[in-house]
Structure 1
Amino acid sequence: MMGKTRSSDAVRVGSTIMLMAAMVVSVSGHNYGLALSKSILFFEGQRSGKLPPSQRLTWRKDSGLRDGFEIGVDLVGGYYDAGDNVKFNFPMAWSTTMLAWGVSEFGREMGPHLPHALDAIRWATDYFLKATSVPGVVFVQVGEPYGDHNCWERPEDMNTPRTPYSVSAQFPGSEVSAEIAAALAAASLAFRPVDHRYSALLLSRAKTVFEFADKYKGSYNDSLGPRVCPFYCDFSGYEDELIWAASWLFKATKAPNYWNYVVQNIHHLDYYKFKTFNSLPNGVGSFAEFGWDTKNAGINVLAFEIVMKDNNNTDLFMVNADKFVCSVLPESPTKYVNYSPGGLLFKPGGSNLQHATALSFLLVVYARYTNLAKRVVQCGNVKATPARLIQVARGQVDYILGSNPMNMSYMVGYGRKFPQRIHHRGSSLPSLDQHPQQIGCKDGTPYFESRRPNPNLLTGAVVGGPDIKDRYNDSRADFVHSEPTTYINAPLVGVLAFFRWHPYP
């Protein structure tokens, strides 16, 4: 524990911190600390439930206050996933896991923004404690997606069905249950230094939910069908979520049974055929994938950190973590992602910036781990040093913040030029302060079709991003490119925290 700092030393330390912050801005032209604060603030705009007095995005008001009441369960709270008003727990849980991993990994670098990051995590975990409060049942969604998507209305006004959907022993959903377990376990680590009692509660529930997910194996695709598909189908199977959750539980508990589970089941991940994206070349495995659906690359990076200190079974995870790096590195002979002329990483699927932020997070984390292990990733005849991985990640972050052919920030409220007409109901409709009367299901259509900028600034929201030719059409109707999501922002929080503190030329 550090002793008290003398006043003169404190002045020097403070001056050094200010200088480092200035260096970050001057080296890149971007204020990563400012971007970090905004990226966290975005989550307040996605909140469902009774908003607290500390709410900073004040144009948002209470919503979904009776979620779950029709079946006698309190399901108030949590997040809307994107520009709609449905609570999809699968992507919400992964977003929470990533926020928690960002805090666990880069919490010290967050400085004054750390309490807000913890608030963002807690808004989700309080809800997940409710969603897992009934023994033998895990609630996985609130809201009827087709009815919701047929309306353009504020969350404060929504009158579409708020049907709760759940999985159980008879109708399993291992992927979403296991991801909730991972989120609770990861969050327990984030809260451990500041709220030990809450951390212990999260960890206890994570164990219970993981046991449920593993005991009653099955996909929620089969149990809930069109209620979750095509919105958030699980394309890659539930085995990755079970292993991902076990990895986080081992990290949080050090209990050998969780690590044994990882090692004994890792073979279930198919590293040589990937069934989601058939466009990938032969030989590209799911080791290259990471996001709300597929956890494989994250498992290998996380597991490498777990085992590198013991030098035990390191190769099992290091080989595939290295393959992931080589699939992303622009100069790698085994690169399997595309890059736009302006340098933005592209993978198949919509909302492309989710790939840029998630993979950048893994690059920065793996750079930290490989640096500690004093090793360099070898991609054929190309050496990928930790510094090079960080450089690639920073290129993606800088692109998002405005260093691109459009000279446009894709984070709302950051920079001089950013998206004005994002695909987001609450942002695009006048707030209750401006229009206290209800706006009905179809009454919002003229606002959706309008070419006028959104009246409410969803500060920090990162949209789906430009096309592969670096073009961006600022249109609400073009939701693939103009819709923000929690799972775009969540990994970006950790990356921005890293760059806030570590200036690299």
Structure 2
Amino acid sequence: MTPEMSTTAAIMVMARNLPPKAFSFLSTSEWILHSEVERGQKAFGGRFLAITMIAAVIIISGVIIIDKVPPRHHHSHPPPDNYTLALHKALMFFNAQKLLPPRWDKKFSFVQVLLNRLRLFLSPGHPAEDILLILHRSSEIMMCSYLPVFTSFNRTKGGLIQLNHGRPQPLQYVVNAAFLATLYSDYLEAADTPGWYCGPNFYSIEVLREFAKTQINYILGENPRKMSYVVGFGNLYPKHVHHRGASIPNNRVIYNCKGGWKWRDSPKPNPNIVVGAMVAGPDKNDEFRDVRTNYNYTEPTLAGNAGLVAALVALSGDRTGIDKNTIFSAVPPMFPTAPPPPAPWKP
């Protein structure tokens, strides 16, 4: 960018900080200045920089003086174009969603972490870089909020992060956060980035993996009750899971929805073990009630198990499995390849 163009850009920035009454005047002035810069670059070269700066001072001063004079006529401002309005609404949604915990009906956390791949591995440049940088910064803030050194979320005495702020069924949020933290650390490692900043402090990617491990280990039995919240894992796990397939016996009798209630309300352990199902989890005091009728403790969900599987895969094996050179090109096609064409027809 030439000095003349830099000056014009600075003028435009200053103009946008002026009172609203000056907008209509400045829109014309900006156009005039931009045109004069183009002509001046050809006619005067570097000497035009001083002329442009003087013109800027005169115009800005004139606008300020105009703003001091009471207007005689009221000029309505034109409504924003559709793109500006859409961007404004999108940013409102973005700001409202960016620190919500990842869950089945709130996908923003997942999407912004996935979009970090584009910025870290492809460097798309302008204009995509602007919005990707915003999402990258938001991802960093989210990762900072998971660290115990900050107080964004409470933790139980046993160490379970309360992403849903002490409300029931906490584990589905925890496993998804553990997955995202591990995935984000893998992205940074693949991009040869050792960590990220939380304010002025730098944190290693190892901190994220440690967060994920402690949360998953809690779920698998390293908690005050020494209970695994994954059915069939360990020696102590829930026996009264809130699940029809687990609680209704396989006695070749077809039960309708209402007919299955007697099994739901039975105090006996489940006749069938739904191996691998993660229940809703303990409360904010690390307490757990193994009661089938209380789904806030004993209900497994697809959203919870999806996050559990993802987190376990991310934490298993040797470090990251991310290959930044093939992460986009190695995706298999969505449809099978077309069959070869038939042989040429012959009479």
- Normalization by structure 2: what TM-score? 0.61
Unpaired runs of at least 5, structure 2: 1-82, 321-347
Aligned counterpart, 1:362: 180
The answer to whether the 8 Å contact 1:270/1:286 transfers is: no
Root mean square deviation of aligned Cα: 2.4
Matched, 1:468 2:287: no
Aligned counterpart, 2:148: 330
Matched, 1:317 2:317: no
Aligned counterpart, 2:159: 343
After TM superposition, give the deviation of residue 286 of structure 1 in Å.
2.7
Of 450, 459, 484, 2:300 maps to: 484
Kindly tell me: are residues 365 and 293 of structure 1, through their superposed partners in 2, closer, same or farther at Cα, counting changes over 3 Å?
same
Within-5 A mapping of 1:106-505: 268-270=90-92, 274=96, 286-311=98-123, 312=125, 313=129, 314-332=132-150, 335-348=151-164, 349-373=167-191, 374-431=193-250, 435-502=251-318
Question: Which is higher, the Rg of structure 1 or of structure 2?
Answer: 2
Amino acid at match of 1:498: A
- Structure 2: distance between partners of 1:308 and 1:480: 40
Deviations 1:404-443 (A, max 9, x none): 1010000000000000001111110101xxx112224433
The answer to whether the 8 Å contact 2:231/2:274 transfers is: yes
Kindly tell me: are residues 271 and 331 of structure 1, through their superposed partners in 2, closer, same or farther at Cα, counting changes over 3 Å?
farther
Aligned counterpart, 2:12: none
- Structure 1: distance between partners of 2:92 and 2:296: 29
The answer to whether the 8 Å contact 2:182/2:315 transfers is: no
Kindly tell me: are residues 319 and 402 of structure 1, through their superposed partners in 2, closer, same or farther at Cα, counting changes over 3 Å?
same
- SS of the residue aligned with 2:112? helix
- Structure 2: distance between partners of 1:498 and 1:352: 20
Deviations 1:475-503 (A, max 9, x none): 11110121000100112212212322148
- Structure 1: distance between partners of 2:122 and 2:248: 55
Deviations 1:215-254 (A, max 9, x none): xxxxxxxxxxxxxxxxxxxxxxxxxxxxxxxxxxxxxxxx
Kindly tell me: are residues 266 and 499 of structure 1, through their superposed partners in 2, closer, same or farther at Cα, counting changes over 3 Å?
farther
- Structure 2: distance between partners of 1:458 and 1:384: 40
Within-5 A mapping of 1:21-60: none
- Structure 1: distance between partners of 2:272 and 2:178: 29
Report the number of matched residues.
Answer: 227
The answer to whether the 8 Å contact 2:224/2:286 transfers is: yes
- SS of the residue aligned with 1:270? helix
After TM superposition, give the deviation of residue 449 of structure 1 in Å.
1.6
After TM superposition, give the deviation of residue 268 of structure 1 in Å.
0.8
The answer to whether the 8 Å contact 2:169/2:282 transfers is: no
The answer to whether the 8 Å contact 1:428/1:448 transfers is: yes
- SS of the residue aligned with 1:501? coil
- Structure 1: distance between partners of 2:173 and 2:160: 10
Higher relative contact order (CA 8 A, sep 6+): 1
After TM superposition, give the deviation of residue 319 of structure 1 in Å.
0.5
Question: Matched residues, percent identical?
Answer: 31
Kindly tell me: are residues 329 and 414 of structure 1, through their superposed partners in 2, closer, same or farther at Cα, counting changes over 3 Å?
same
Unpaired runs of at least 5, structure 1: 1-260, 275-284
Kindly tell me: are residues 350 and 306 of structure 1, through their superposed partners in 2, closer, same or farther at Cα, counting changes over 3 Å?
farther
After TM superposition, give the deviation of residue 392 of structure 1 in Å.
0.1
